[in-house]
């Protein structure tokens, strides 16, 4: 294996807007707010930034194509700015690009900003879009939505592990209830309301077996990170966040079109996780990680992520859910800020928002939801669908 990125770069400043529907805010104002917080947090000035990356997905709706919307919003002085897009994993792409640029020595200080402004389409859920293969998709693919694509994972999972619809839905409801409880403690979260399991179970079905509370919010917001080489990080602040791994894996679509994938897990997460743990030198994520923020676009996604990240044994994540293993006071807290479910999911910003929570937790600045003495945090970002997706995994530590 190549040398990898471990301990080569560090985050010295981050910013994140309040997430929400933001009917009265523009993408421009969100980007500026996240950026100003990150600048202040890092204690640097705009002129210190050598290069920037912008991550956004549904450019058609609001932000616009190219990197110009970021350069224009922040009034960046003619520096290299690049837009990255990889579905819902776009945020991790921006972090990765900025980190690699710094690690290569091509620049000293790099900026990653993710943003999404979804609520200008006039209807609930994500914008209707051609998921893959552009307009060809419309001819030969069902008119699927994200909840439907992930619901099929639940259908198959319940069948394989012999869970009745009631048992399966109850397990998923516990996952959502945990995230809502954490989100209620998080000032910047979109949905700050605790919801009990029975309410979740009774909610209207969106895509069977997933109900309303099995789905994350449709959210606007922005997040930003400032990255420098690890050896100079302490010159900016005493508590930078050191990178342990940055991995992306993309499905070759064999799950989608070849009869091998079993439909109860996300193969791309498994592949990405194996590489990330190797890069970070983690042998047992269940005991070595302090916390993790995962791509819980839907409750079933989070359930299989527990297994795909090799934290819960295959087919037995339910036992950990039932035991409260991932609760804020559990052995390995997950979604301490509420996750996509409750903090919200502005597509291009989510990967950076996850890292923002790891950053705040590992600095001990997570307020009411602060966990005890964390050392190592993981983020898992999923773009696409269970059978064909982009997975971004980052692992960060507060020690070099």
Binding site for another protein (CB under 8 A): 121-125, 128, 130, 135-136, 138-145, 147-148, 151-153, 155-156, 159, 204-209, 252-254, 256-260, 263, 387
Shortest distance in whole angstroms from residue 344 CB to another protein: 18
Nearer to another protein, 51 or 207 (CB): 207
Active-site entry in 22, 180, 295, 345: 345
Residue found by looking up tokens 């009745």 in the block: 164
Nearer to another protein, 15 or 209 (CB): 209
Tokens found for residue 158:
């319940």
Shortest distance in whole angstroms from residue 125 CB to another protein: 5
Q: What angle do CA 17, 19, 25 make, to 5 degrees?
A: 75
Question: Is 272 one of the annotated active-site residues of the chain?
Answer: no
Residue found by looking up tokens 């091998």 in the block: 260
Shortest distance in whole angstroms from residue 215 CB to another protein: 9
Shortest distance in whole angstroms from residue 261 CB to another protein: 8
Active-site entry in 88, 107, 215, 216: 88
Question: For residue 337, how far is the Cα from the chain centroid?
Answer: 12
Nearer to another protein, 315 or 364 (CB): 315
| Cβ atoms within 10 Å, residue 147 | 23
Shortest distance in whole angstroms from residue 184 CB to another protein: 26
Give the Cα separation of 111 and 38 in Å (integer).
9
Nearer to another protein, 164 or 235 (CB): 164
Nearer to another protein, 80 or 263 (CB): 263
Shortest distance in whole angstroms from residue 319 CB to another protein: 23
Strand partners, 215: 298
Nearer to another protein, 196 or 254 (CB): 254
Nearer to another protein, 139 or 235 (CB): 139
Give the Cα separation of 59 and 124 in Å (integer).
18
| Paired sense of beta strands 109-116 and 51-55, if any | parallel
Shortest distance in whole angstroms from residue 255 CB to another protein: 9
Question: Is 180 one of the annotated active-site residues of the chain?
Answer: no
List the catalytic residues: 88, 345
């Amino acid at each position: 294996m190549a040398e990898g990125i471990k301990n080569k770069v560090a985050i010295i400043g981050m910013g994140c807007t309040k997430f929400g529907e933001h009917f009265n805010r523009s993408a421009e104002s969100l980007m500026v707010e996240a950026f100003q917080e990150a600048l202040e947090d890092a204690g640097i000035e705009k002129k210190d930034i050598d290069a920037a990356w912008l991550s956004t997905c549904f450019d058609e709706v609001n932000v616009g194509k190219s990197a110009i919307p970021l350069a224009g919003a922040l009034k960046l002085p003619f520096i290299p700015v690049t837009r990255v897009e990889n579905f819902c994993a776009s945020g991790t792409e921006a972090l990765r690009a900025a980190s690699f640029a710094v690690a290569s020595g091509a620049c000293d200080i790099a900026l990653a900003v993710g943003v999404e402004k979804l609520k200008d389409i006039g209807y609930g859920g994500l914008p209707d879009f051609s998921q893959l293969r552009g307009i060809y998709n419309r001819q030969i693919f069902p008119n699927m939505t994200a909840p439907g694509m992930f619901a099929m994972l639940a259908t198959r999972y319940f069948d394989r592990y012999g869970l009745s619809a009631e048992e399966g839905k109850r397990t998923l409801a516990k996952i959502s209830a945990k995230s809502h409880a954490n989100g209620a403690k998080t000032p910047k979260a979109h949905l700050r309301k605790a919801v009990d399991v029975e309410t979740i179970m009774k909610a209207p079905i969106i895509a069977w077996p997933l109900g309303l509370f099995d789905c994350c919010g449709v959210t606007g917001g922005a997040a930003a990170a400032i990255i420098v080489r690890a050896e100079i990080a302490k010159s900016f602040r005493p508590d930078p966040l050191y990178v342990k791994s940055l991995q992306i894996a993309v499905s070759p679509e064999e799950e989608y079109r070849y009869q091998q994938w079993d439909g109860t897990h996300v193969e791309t997460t498994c592949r990405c996780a194996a590489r990330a743990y190797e890069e970070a030198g983690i042998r047992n994520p269940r005991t070595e990680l302090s916390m993790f923020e995962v791509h819980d676009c839907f409750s079933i996604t989070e359930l299989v992520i527990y297994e795909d990240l090799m934290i819960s044994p295959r087919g037995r994540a339910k036992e950990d859910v039932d035991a409260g293993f991932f609760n804020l006071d559990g052995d390995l807290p997950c979604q301490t800020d509420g996750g996509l479910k409750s903090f919200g999911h502005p597509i291009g910003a989510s990967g950076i928002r996850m890292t923002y929570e790891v950053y705040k937790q590992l600095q001990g600045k997570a307020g009411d939801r602060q966990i005890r003495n964390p050392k190592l945090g993981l983020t898992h970002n999923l773009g696409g669908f269970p059978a064909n997706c982009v997975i971004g995994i980052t692992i960060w530590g507060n020690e070099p």
